[in-house]
Amino acid sequence: MAPAKSLAQQLGEKQREISVAEFFERNRQILGFDNPARALLTSVKEAIDNSLDACEEAGLLPELSVEVHKDGADRYRVIVEDNGPGIVRKQIPNVFARLLYGSRFHANRQSRGQQGIGISAAVLYAALTTARPAKITSKVEEEEAAHVVELFIDTQKNLPRIVREDVVLWDRPHGIRVELALKAKYQRGRQSPYEYLKDTAIVNPHARIVLTEPDGTRVTWERAATEMPPVPKEVLPHPYGLELGELSSRLKASSRPTVSDVLLHEFAGVTPRALKEILAAARIAPKTAPGSIHGEELEQLLSALHAAPLLPPSAEALSPIGPLLIKRGLRNVLGEVRPEFFAPPVSRPPKIRGGFPFLVEVGLVYGGGLPLDQPVQLLRFANRVPLLFQQGACAITTAVGGMDWRRYGLDQKGGAGIPTGPCVILVHLASTKIPFTSEAKEAIAEDEEIDREVTLALQAAARHLRIHLSRRTRRELAGEKFDVILKILPRLAAKTSALVGKPVPDLTPVITRIMDVVYVDPQPVATEEKKPATSRFTIDVTNYTPRPRVLELFLEMPPAEFPPSRVLPAPDGVEAPLGRAWWTLPRLEPSGRTRIELDFPSATEVDLDDLDLYVAGVDESHLLGADPLPGDWEVRLPRAIVEAAEAAAAAETADEAEVDYDGTETSSPLDEE
């Protein structure tokens, strides 16, 4: 009779390896499949992210199609199709039915998907809830036919199990079609496939996206740009982001003969000069074999690497959206609400976090048909992917709520939290390593460096909003003042002239004295064509002061949209890299006016708020519709303008109060703005 097994032996026999597929099958909420509505959105998201990455890597303008069909009481069939390069037959099972399998995890560059979990997790969830295989159709350009593979995931082994395959003719030259049947729920709303695809179209304006909803409704987001985003380049790992174990593994895995060769050629930022300092600080000989470094030597080497003055990681690994495409994307998707103001998008310079490069971009839209009494709409993105869930747990939300938006014209109770007003705020974080709070990639973890950059970008965009609101208020006041003057004075003059029996006098000098401003009035010019080849603007400068003026007008606008295709008269100076031009205006007599005409190609989509105008030669108190020249502009003004401005200032100082015809001082409420 065999001896009875001890409790430890019995427990030991129950121990076995758990595959990653088995783990996620039981913990699907970690990946975003915790309820039917969210599961549908996550499945669409993962397929679209893969399609966009594939198209961009192949240099193809994305053509994406999403179809959602009702397939039972609580079942739906999801079809996602793209025009990407396709996947060779050998790799189809591994890509779609094997978790933690992919090509991007070890690549140190920006991409939407990295872990090789997303689309395989969707296949896993579909099989778990409907017991039906995923159907994958793939065609590569080199082959005449497409491969169709139906498969499951063997969760115990984390390997694909093919149940059927075929070869068919497909009218696409290349591409992928993914078909899944899953337990789901379709609904419109902020966290829906519709909203996800709409937000995706904003930050991917080079893509054309078509959605067919269960009721047959077809929605198309046409591409707003034909320029492909810059393809991020794979870069070497930077020592600032290394941990001790990773450094040890890299040294042992290297085939290079010496530690000097490894540090110089397998890590970014290490220069020959820095190498000498690192090895001297770590007390390691340059020709030491990399595999022999361990223990205290390894710790000294890591400390020396972190303390050394290394070059920063290259920003070539990043693919920012860019100010011009942010503006086009927002305009393309939000066109139905007709916002009154698109702030010039802000793209911060690349920074370093934990040895990985990152940058922050912000876009801001205000007014139009946006709701006045609702919290602003916050659009969060990471590597061009919308973040629709866990807004309250995201570092982007923390940064937005930490600003005092009352300073910039938005309502905000207590000066903290999400502000209220007719505004949309877009924040995009691009990095080779996004610090997500979970594998579902729905929120960005709190981080001091990220918070600082997001805040700085938000402040820059908010300053444009404050300037816009200030200019709008000043224009409205000036318009009201003009209306009052032009309505009252002619009637008063006509009645007075009739009483005394004399002709109506010329009121221009009187209006000039009452207004006492140089008025800069930029206006768009309406065109008769439905699709004009150009966007046309005029800038009128009128001297409503009692003295002649010699002025210089400066224009500043986004460099990506500069210069204009036609300018009349030609500017006296241009700084194209800064998006600047300036004109020395002809001498303006009282009530005199001059005009500048600008034409821009319609593809640049310039609007009035892109034209920042500044004037030199007149005091700020006598300037309306533009701002005085900023003090940080390195511009040498013509001597004539300087002398004229000095003479006008001296005359205005000596003649501060108005005096009427009999010598008594008068004042008018019309003089107060």
Residue where a domain stops, chosen among 417, 445, 468: 468
672 found inside a domain: no
Are 167 and 286 found together in one domain? no
Letter string b/e over residues 399-409, b meaning 16 or more CB atoms within 10 A of that residue's CB: bbeebebeebb
CATH of the domain at 557: 2.60.40.1170
The C-alpha atoms of residue 260 and residue 221 are separated, in whole angstroms, by: 53
- Token pair for 103: 């090509």
* DSSP track, 298-337: HHHHHHHHHHS-PPPPPGGG-----HHHHHHHHHHHSGGG
SS3 content of the chain, % helix, strand, coil (to 5): 35, 25, 40
Averaged over 173-193, what is the pLDDT? 89
Query: Bridge partners of 167?
Result: 147
Are 72 and 199 found together in one domain? yes
Indicate the pLDDT class of residue 636, thresholds 50, 70 and 90: low
Give, as one character, the DSSP assignment of residue 455: H
Which pLDDT belongs to residue 644? 63
Length of the chain: 673
Do β-strands 612-616 and 552-556 pair in parallel, antiparallel, or remain unpaired?
antiparallel
Amino acid at 220: T
* Whole-number average pLDDT of the chain: 83
**Is 543 exposed, middle or buried, given 0-12, 13-18 or 19+ CB atoms closer than 10 A?**
buried
Strand ordering across the sheet containing 159-168: 159-168, 146-154, 134-139, 175-183, 75-82, 63-70, 208-212, 218-221
Residue 69 has pLDDT above 90, yes or no: yes
Residue 673 has pLDDT above 60, yes or no: no
SS (H, E, C) 10-51: HHHHHCCCCCHHHHHHHCHHHHCCCCHHHHHHHHHHHHHHHH
| In the block, residue with structure tokens 């030609």 | 570
The candidate with the shortest Cα–Cα distance to 417, out of 407, 404, 428, 427, is 404
**Is 663 exposed, middle or buried, given 0-12, 13-18 or 19+ CB atoms closer than 10 A?**
exposed
- The string of pLDDT tens digits covering residues 190-220 is 788 999 999 999 999 999 999 999 999 999 9
Percent of the chain scoring above 90 in pLDDT:
28
Residue 667 has pLDDT above 60, yes or no: no
Are 25 and 168 found together in one domain? yes
3 found inside a domain: no
31 found inside a domain: yes
Are 353 and 464 found together in one domain? yes
SS (H, E, C) 78-139: EEEEECCCCCCHHHHHHHHCCCCCCCCCCCCCCCCCCCCCHHHHHHHHHHHHHCCCEEEEEE
3-state secondary structure of 60: coil
Indicate the pLDDT class of residue 146, thresholds 50, 70 and 90: very high
- Token pair for 29: 């909420």
Residue 404 has pLDDT above 60, yes or no: yes
Are 155 and 255 found together in one domain? no
Residue where a domain stops, chosen among 221, 249, 268: 221
Are 38 and 185 found together in one domain? yes
* DSSP track, 127-184: HHHH---EEEEEE-TT-SSEEEEEEEEETTTTEEEEEEEEEE--SSSSEEEEEEEEE-
480 found inside a domain: no
- Token pair for 81: 């199709």
- Token pair for 266: 């397998």
The C-alpha atoms of residue 84 and residue 215 are separated, in whole angstroms, by: 28
Give the range with max mean pLDDT: 28-42, 309-323, 440-454.
Answer: 440-454
Are 429 and 510 found together in one domain? no
Averaged over 407-429, what is the pLDDT? 91
Indicate the pLDDT class of residue 659, thresholds 50, 70 and 90: very low
Cα torsion at 364, 370, 372, 375 (round to 10°)? -60
3-state secondary structure of 671: helix
Residue 672 has pLDDT above 50, yes or no: no
Residue 1 has pLDDT above 70, yes or no: no
29-38, 367-376, 534-543, 556-565: least confident range: 29-38
DSSP H or E stretch at residue 401: helix 395-401
DSSP H or E stretch at residue 66: strand 63-70
Count of domains for the chain:
4
Are 438 and 546 found together in one domain? no
Are 266 and 390 found together in one domain? no
Which pLDDT belongs to residue 61? 94
Are 294 and 357 found together in one domain? no
Structural domain of 427? 330-468
Which pLDDT belongs to residue 188? 83
**Is 483 exposed, middle or buried, given 0-12, 13-18 or 19+ CB atoms closer than 10 A?**
exposed
531 vs 72, more confident: 72
Percent of the chain scoring above 70 in pLDDT:
86
Are 87 and 201 found together in one domain? yes
Chain centroid to Cα 627, Å, comes to 28
664 found inside a domain: no
Which pLDDT belongs to residue 65? 95
Q: Quick check: 590 and 509 in contact, CB under 8 A? A: yes
Which pLDDT belongs to residue 30? 63
The candidate with the shortest Cα–Cα distance to 30, out of 103, 84, 99, 81, is 99
The C-alpha atoms of residue 519 and residue 506 are separated, in whole angstroms, by: 20
670 found inside a domain: no
DSSP H or E stretch at residue 451: helix 448-500
CATH of the domain at 244: 1.10.8.50
Q: Quick check: 366 and 339 in contact, CB under 8 A? A: yes
**Is 388 exposed, middle or buried, given 0-12, 13-18 or 19+ CB atoms closer than 10 A?**
buried
The C-alpha atoms of residue 408 and residue 421 are separated, in whole angstroms, by: 11
Alpha helices in 177-243 (DSSP H): 193-203
- The string of pLDDT tens digits covering residues 350-380 is 888 877 889 999 999 998 889 888 999 999 9
Which pLDDT belongs to residue 107? 59
Q: Is the pTM above the cut of 0.85?
A: no
The C-alpha atoms of residue 408 and residue 366 are separated, in whole angstroms, by: 12
The C-alpha atoms of residue 293 and residue 307 are separated, in whole angstroms, by: 19
Q: Prior bond to 563 cis, omega within 30?
A: yes
Which pLDDT belongs to residue 97? 82
Give, as one character, the DSSP assignment of residue 433: S
3-state secondary structure of 599: strand
129 found inside a domain: yes
322's torsion region: left (phi>0), alpha (psi -120 to 50) or beta?
A: left
- The string of pLDDT tens digits covering residues 239-252 is 887 888 888 888 88
Which pLDDT belongs to residue 21? 55
3-state secondary structure of 199: helix
The C-alpha atoms of residue 255 and residue 261 are separated, in whole angstroms, by: 10
Which pLDDT belongs to residue 662? 37
Query: Bridge partners of 359?
Result: 430
456's torsion region: left (phi>0), alpha (psi -120 to 50) or beta?
A: alpha
Q: Quick check: 624 and 517 in contact, CB under 8 A? A: yes
36-45, 95-104, 202-211, 570-579: least confident range: 95-104
Q: Angle between the 323-333 and 193-203 helix axes, to the nearest 10 degrees? A: 140
* DSSP track, 533-569: SEEEEEEEEEEESSS-B--EEEEE--GGG-S-SEEES
Which pLDDT belongs to residue 635? 60
The C-alpha atoms of residue 665 and residue 673 are separated, in whole angstroms, by: 20
Are 176 and 65 found together in one domain? yes
Amino acid at 92: I
CATH of the domain at 337: 3.30.230.10
The C-alpha atoms of residue 331 and residue 337 are separated, in whole angstroms, by: 10
3-state secondary structure of 602: helix
- The string of pLDDT tens digits covering residues 440-457 is 788 999 988 899 999 999
442 found inside a domain: yes
Handedness of CA 542, 576, 462, 375 (dihedral sign): positive
